[in-house]
Structure 1
Amino acid sequence: MKLSMKVLQVGVLSIWLSGFIFIALSFYATRKLPNFNDDRISHHLFNHSAPKIAIFSAPAPFTGSVGSRQSLAIRSWLGLSPQITVLLFTQHPSAFAFARDFGSRLMVEPNIDFT
């Protein structure tokens, strides 16, 4: 009984010790990562044109409280960056009316199989 308790204590201690070592190693590795405030890295990363991002969604009709929450979500997506476009998969007329105000950044695709 005493031996098994001692083995259990050594096992728990080794788990704690290895966890501490892994945490210390991760802090050390994180400190060695390049700083994004460094001009060399910023110039290299952001010298090219910004990537385009497309968000795909299949919304419910834009009516009632669900519609207002959906429109708020889409407006917030588009507000993140001018490089973002949103593609809505729906056949409901309310989506077309909503999308008219956003030009080419918000498109509605009705020609998909909804079955």
Structure 2
Amino acid sequence: MIELSESYQKRPIRFLELWEINDWKIKMYGISYKNDLPSHDLISKAKEIAQQSLPVPAITENRYGAGFVGVHDGKDANFIYLSIGGQMKMSFNIMYTYLPRRSQICLKNILIQA
């Protein structure tokens, strides 16, 4: 059985901004373990990672140029999610686990078809 280090506490989930970059329209959302919003450093890191991951051009016959980024400022690790919509009910999802104390970023690419 898994033993939790503490009981569950509700965490605020907030809309951060509509970020427009290179013809992409990205809705950004944040969740934080301790604060109302994720840290500014983590939000900046999420934008940096997302910008490097977004395909160019944003709009093609297979992409709509829209997506979302989730920024989770966690207790022991941080998570950055990037999801972009595509044709035929397909979406491309990337999840990064960011461990700031170790300066590591782990990448998982996931292709989901609805």
TM score, norm. by length of structure 2: 0.22
Q: Which has the larger radius of gyration?
A: 1
Of Structure 1 and Structure 2, the greater helix share is in 1
Larger strand fraction of residues? 2
